Amino acid sequence: MGRGILLTSNLPQLQNLIKRDPVAYKEEFLQQWNHYNSIREIFKINPNDQNQHFKELVAFIAQVATCYPKETAEFPAQISALLLDSYATLSPDTRKTLVQNLIMLRNKDVITSVELLKSLFPLLPRTSSSTLRTYIRNQILTDIRVANMKSQNHKLNKAVQAMLFSMVEHGMSGDVQGDKGKHKMPTNNPEGQNSEEAMWAIVLTKELWRKGIWTDAKSVSIVAQGCFHPVTKVQSASLHFFLGSEDMEDDSDDEDEAVDVKGLQHRREINKKTRSGDKKLRKQLKAAKKKNKGKGKESSANFSAIQLLHDPQTFGEKLYDILNTYDKRFSLDHKILIMQLLSRVMGSHKLCVLGFYTYIVKYLTHRQLRVPSILVALAQSVHDLTPPDAITPVIRKLAQEFVHPGVASEVIAAGLNSIREVSRRQPWAMEEDLLSDLIEYRKSKDKAVTAGARGLLKLYREVNPNMLKRRERGKDASMGVNVAARALPYGHAAEAAIDIEGLSLLEDHLKRLREEDGAALDEDEDDWNGWELESDSSSDSESDGWINVESDDDNDLEISDSEDEGENKKPAISEEGQTTTAAATVSTLATTKILTPADFALLDDLRRQAAESSTGTKPKRKLGANAQTEDPENEFISENDILGPRKKAKADYAERMASIQKGREGREKFGSNKGKQNKAAPSSSTNREKARNKPIMMILSSGAVKGKKKASLREKQQKLRAHIDRAKKSKR
């Protein structure tokens, strides 16, 4: 009894003894356990009654929970319920203690990651302390990262993604508020709390994607759902994820505010000079430099996330619907974000959302704010499957608003470049009369206008020279050199595939195997083992083998085209089954052998090996996941492509100071290099040299000039004689 009373007042000592011998000190632990339960019951009756001893008991039980698993089985659930149900009434210190001990239980494997995250996720939107919020956020990210370090923990990822998706969906039924005037939900409103939950779900998903922990389609679906959230702040954070740019408002931490460097330095100058103050200033400046590092880097689109969209057509149509429906509620910046994402999705997946071109026409004026970004969105939305009839009015509008003598040369250049980018993706949307007028601007005196007009002329010389006048087609187009590079009419596809890519590699590989074995390799049924096959009941019932078709004359096996025998004559097939054209050899393996799934797997390996052994980079890129980025139609353009080459803008203060500092390199702090260059003994200029370069107005009022005017004839003769004598002496 005396020992128990002694240890009651010294919980750290009791904790140490229990970890050494849990069985011997079980009674002391049960005494503390009962004390904890009694305090918890009192707290349920009176939530305001919180004492220091309760926090010490919680920390003590969390430390020794692994020693008595049966007795403390309900302890994690009690801590979680206390946080979730009574979070508002808990003091800040009690909240922090409960969260820390709950995380400690996870580190000791008392609870699973799912149980911990179920308790931490609801706390993020309810926490007002930036320190505790950052601590919870880092713990969530660390726990998921550690779980997926060795291999993907699909069970945990699936559960966490379901929780994040539900957090986004909670507030989807609300009305769209818009962001004109930066409307914000009140924190005490349930809809505002749902918006905070959705915001944190988007922020955590973006962070996990950025760190490379989640790269699957489910995480993309969470952010895609956030693009249609009624709260504009959540929409903006989701749109920035797909655009690959940093959202300045997606972080809820108070620590992300900009650091006033000049203010810190000013306070340091007027305050008392101490070593600790200098050390603190250096630390703050270092943190500010680290935070601002990389802010000026140009962002690129998140192409992989756009490619992982589940239903791109529905996604694009929903984006257009919210853009068109809430046009009066959204600010211009937010509408441009939606336009940019919609255009990139349309260009990447070749979608046809024709209402977008009708909507964007009203913004195509040279006085529109941020018109370069709108022109970029327009150009990126066009592709070869876009109907030319939908693009022709847009090009006509661009020409009327941007390309005429009544606007500045920068506006004309932007209009020509925009028309060129649109026409490069859909050449058939251009009209011949309009094209002839636009290319006349190549005779302009402005460099940017000339470059834009010449780029448009060069484009149509390559893709469709028939739209140009004969004298404007150029030598190559007139001679028909680049016939293969010309654009196909709308709706026409390229020549049908006559061979499987890389099949010749498989044929050569099988040929080498035959030579090594010395006998022909027969098709083995084992090649089909382990592969799922789709069977057709109708075909199985009709026949079980090949149907032999006999020809009356084997020598008449020839394919010809009677309409276009002159230009597009198709190759004839010889008796061996190979084409007789001079083009690349086509493999006949597909017509002589049934390719099994094992053959296709081997074909993929051979293609990959051939790409890796190639010296160039183009074959390797073709095998990558982002092969579509090589297509010019899928390239994302920037505002610089629309604006074109511009005159050098006036330097701002930072650029002028940088130029001044660059000019001061390699010289002393004070002084000038004038008069010291190209001299054996460095020296400054003499007074006589300085007088020679003085302004004439300063010389007129000097005593020497006035003395010359007042000199007598005798004095002038003496000076002339002295000058002659000096000249004679110098000649000697």
Q: Are 222 and 330 in the same domain?
A: yes
Query: Does 331 fall in a domain?
Result: yes
Q: Among the three residues 86, 111, 136, which one is the final residue of a domain in this structure?
A: 111
Lowest mean per-residue pLDDT among 177-181, 204-208, 662-666: 177-181
pLDDT at 339: 97
pLDDT of residue 544 exceeding 50: no
pLDDT tens per residue, range 81-135: 999 988 888 888 889 999 999 999 999 999 999 999 999 999 999 998 899 999 9
Q: What is the distance between the alpha carbons of residues 99 and 55, in angstroms, rounded to a whole number? A: 11
pLDDT at 607: 79
Query: Does 462 fall in a domain?
Result: yes
Lowest mean per-residue pLDDT among 170-174, 192-196, 692-696, 698-702: 192-196
pLDDT at 133: 93
Query: Hey, what amino acid is at 370?
Result: R
Q: Are 358 and 345 in the same domain?
A: no
Query: Does 364 fall in a domain?
Result: yes
Rounded to the nearest 10 degrees, what angle do helices 92-107 and 52-63 cross at?
Answer: 0
Query: Does 261 fall in a domain?
Result: no
pLDDT of residue 313 exceeding 90: yes
Q: Are 389 and 470 in the same domain?
A: yes
Q: In the predicted model, what is the mean pLDDT of residues 431-452?
A: 94
Q: Are 213 and 361 in the same domain?
A: no
Query: Does 283 fall in a domain?
Result: no
Higher pLDDT among residues 85 and 180, named by residue? 85
Higher pLDDT among residues 617 and 216, named by residue? 216
Higher pLDDT among residues 266 and 531, named by residue? 266
Split at pLDDT 50, 70, 90, the class of 246 is: low
pLDDT of residue 5 exceeding 60: no
C-alpha to C-alpha distances, 61 to 28, 50, 98, 114, 438, nearest whole angstrom: 12, 17, 12, 22, 81
pLDDT tens per residue, range 470-513: 888 888 777 765 665 677 788 777 665 566 777 788 888 888 88
Query: Does 145 fall in a domain?
Result: no
Q: Are 460 and 377 in the same domain?
A: yes
Query: What domain range includes position 320?
Result: 154-183+190-245+304-351
Split at pLDDT 50, 70, 90, the class of 164 is: very high
Query: Does 54 fall in a domain?
Result: yes
Q: How much is the pTM?
A: 0.69
471 DSSP 8-state letter? G
C-alpha to C-alpha distances, 692 to 41, 403, 470, 684, 699, nearest whole angstrom: 100, 56, 66, 15, 10
C-alpha to C-alpha distances, 16 to 19, 493, 658, nearest whole angstrom: 5, 78, 62
Cβ burial 129-151 (10 Å sphere, 16+ → b, else e): eeebbebbbebbeebbeebbeee
Query: Does 457 fall in a domain?
Result: yes
CB 527 within 8 A of CB 506: no
Q: Are 97 and 224 in the same domain?
A: no
Q: In the predicted model, what is the mean pLDDT of residues 329-334?
A: 94
Q: What is the distance between the alpha carbons of residues 706 and 86, in angstroms, rounded to a whole number? A: 98
Q: Are 314 and 374 in the same domain?
A: no
Q: Among the three residues 577, 610, 643, which one is the final residue of a domain in this structure?
A: 643
Q: Are 211 and 347 in the same domain?
A: yes
Q: Are 30 and 65 in the same domain?
A: yes
Q: Residue 492: CB partners within 8 Å, gap ≥ 6?
A: none
Q: Among the three residues 619, 643, 667, which one is the final residue of a domain in this structure?
A: 643
Domains held by the chain: number: 3
Q: In the predicted model, what is the mean pLDDT of residues 708-725?
A: 91
Q: For all residues of the chain together, what is the average pLDDT? A: 80
Beta bridge partners of 573: 579
pLDDT tens per residue, range 368-415: 999 999 999 999 999 999 999 999 999 999 999 999 999 999 999 999
Q: Are 102 and 207 in the same domain?
A: no
pLDDT at 170: 86
pLDDT at 496: 56
Q: Are 234 and 342 in the same domain?
A: yes
Q: Are 82 and 71 in the same domain?
A: yes
For 584, the token pair is 């690349």
